[in-house]
């Protein structure tokens, strides 16, 4: 397969995932344009041809496809569309339907969905706006996958920056393994692969028989942004794990940044059920390490109501931390979390929160304390490599590029 030719690659965006899909498509178009231009320059130099002649000869590949009658300039790069048009219908009783509006037979299709998008979304050709729950988004994903399979796609990959129900990954009593069940349902529908971001537990991957899970990491993008807002080379910089469950993630940052790692240990009262950011079940916090007069960096995979993180931030400031910076791969900010973080920022509990655009949350961008990191290029590179059957090693293990970034400072 030609590495510069994505003619069989198609993207379908569910309403919830359309914003992120459009950003990834923008990166894909730039990526393939660069490849085309590089290929043109190499061939022009190798065979002593004018660039115009090379482009004409490359575009002569029209004879191999069924669209030779389509009027297109033979002397320019033809930007791939990628996005497959689809119609999404929301019925009065709450049922959802997806219709694919052009042939996708034999295509490698990537379906985008953001199950944490709780903004009004257009249905019925834009005539109706609906706010969907996580469960509505999952059902929308199911009917879309079914439509894609019925339409004859050769391969179906789901792009789910937020893997649904990922926090229900282990049994503590009489409860279901819902994270596993969701994956098995998608696998039974014929999904070949899922691309996700910083999945809550790697155990989920063990639930599948044949479905592949590609778990991407935003650590490089986060460190690059972190280096722009503070001095990561300072001797007074320390990485703190906000709890025992995040030790491995923060150990990775500490090792990459060559900084000490401290740990917050939280004693919890499990007889209490958390209701909001301020009402949590943390009974006591203990610090293993030193944060006095230091810039503290904490990283976690997701943030819901944010109560645990807020309590950790306040505790670190009480322990003498000069600045507290947090990084969240999946910034949900559920309920009234934003208002609580506004108040905490006014009280000086933290300096910045770094989050990715994997979750669409336009309200966050209006706040001084929030810094957004764009990871759409990471997903675009992953999709392109998967489509052309190339290795993902350098993407899944990004320690080398992080080391280069830090050494440049």
Domain annotation for the chain: domains and CATH numbers: 1-216+375-396 (3.40.50.2020), 219-374 (3.40.50.2020)
Of 260-264, 284-288, 387-391, the range with the lowest mean pLDDT is 284-288
Range ranked top by mean pLDDT from 29-33, 301-305, 327-331: 327-331
Pick from 115-119, 310-314, 360-364, 401-405: least confident:
401-405
Higher pLDDT, 278 or 192: 192
Q: What is the pLDDT of residue 68?
A: 40
Q: What is the pLDDT of residue 282?
A: 64
Q: Across the chain, how many H-helices and E-strands are there?
A: 11, 16
Token pair recorded at residue 47:
């065979």
Residue 70, pLDDT score:
46
Query: What number of other Cβ atoms are within 10 A of residue 352's Cβ?
Result: 20
- Which band of pLDDT confidence, cut at 50, 70 and 90, is reported for residue 298? very high
Q: Beta partners for 86? A: 100
Cβ atoms of residues 55 and 73 within 8 Å: no
| Widest pairwise Cα distance in the chain | 77
Over residues 196-202, the mean pLDDT reads 88
Model's pTM, two decimal places? 0.90
- Per-residue confidence (pLDDT) for residue 51, from 0 to 100: 83
Please, what is the average pLDDT of the chain?
A: 89
| C-alpha span between 294 and 67 (Å, rounded) | 62
Contact predicate 175/195, CB 8 Å:
no
Q: What would the two tokens of residue 17 be? A: 């995932």
Lowest average pLDDT, out of 69-73, 147-151, 161-165, goes to: 69-73
CA distance 257 to 237: 9
pLDDT for the residue numbered 63: 46
Least trusted range by pLDDT, from 35-44, 196-205, 267-276, 371-380: 267-276
- Reading the block at residue 277, the tokens are 């950011």
pLDDT of residue 243: 87
């Amino acid at each position: 397969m030609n590495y510069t030719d994505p003619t069989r690659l198609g993207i379908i965006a569910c309403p919830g995932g359309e914003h992120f899909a459009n950003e990834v498509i923008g990166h894909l178009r730039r990526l393939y344009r660069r490849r085309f231009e590089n290929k043109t320059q190499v061939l022009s130099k190798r065979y002593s041809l004018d660039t115009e002649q090379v482009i004409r000869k490359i575009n002569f590949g029209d004879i191999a496809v069924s669209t030779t009658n389509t009027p297109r300039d033979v002397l320019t790069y033809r930007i791939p569309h990628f996005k497959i048009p689809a119609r999404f219908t929301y019925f009065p009783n709450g049922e959802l339907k997806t219709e694919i509006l052009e042939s996708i037979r034999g295509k490698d299709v990537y379906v985008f969905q953001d199950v944490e998008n709780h903004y009004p979304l257009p249905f019925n050709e834009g005539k109706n706006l609906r706010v969907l729950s996580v469960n509505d988004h999952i059902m929308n994903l199911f009917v879309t996958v079914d439509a894609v399979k019925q339409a004859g796609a050769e391969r179906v990959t789901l792009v789910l920056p937020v893997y649904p129900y990922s926090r229900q990954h282990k049994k503590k009593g009489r409860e279901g393994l819902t994270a596993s069940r969701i994956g098995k349902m998608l696998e039974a529908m014929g999904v070949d692969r899922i691309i996700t971001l910083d999945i809550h537990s790697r155990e989920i991957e063990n639930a599948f028989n044949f479905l592949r899970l590609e778990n991407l990491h935003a650590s490089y993008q986060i460190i690059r942004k972190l280096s722009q807002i503070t001095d990561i080379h300072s001797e007074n910089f320390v990485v703190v794990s906000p709890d025992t469950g995040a030790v491995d993630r923060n150990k990775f940052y500490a090792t990459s940044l060559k900084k000490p790692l401290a740990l917050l240990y939280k004693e919890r009262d499990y007889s209490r059920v958390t209701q909001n950011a301020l009402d949590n079940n943390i009974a006591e916090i203990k610090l293993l390490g030193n944060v006095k007069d230091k810039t503290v960096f904490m990283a976690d995979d997701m943030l819901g109501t944010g109560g645990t993180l807020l309590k950790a931030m306040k505790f670190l400031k009480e322990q003498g931390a000069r600045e507290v910076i947090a990084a969240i791969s999946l910034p949900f900010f559920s309920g009234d979390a934003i208002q609580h973080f506004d108040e905490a920022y006014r009280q000086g509990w933290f300096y910045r929160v770094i989050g990715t655009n994997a979750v669409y949350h336009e309200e966050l961008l209006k706040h001084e304390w929030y810094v957004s990191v764009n990871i759409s290029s990471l997903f675009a590179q992953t999709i392109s490599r998967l489509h052309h059957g190339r290795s993902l090693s350098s993407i899944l293990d990004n320690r080398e590029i992080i080391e280069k970034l830090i050494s440049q400072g």
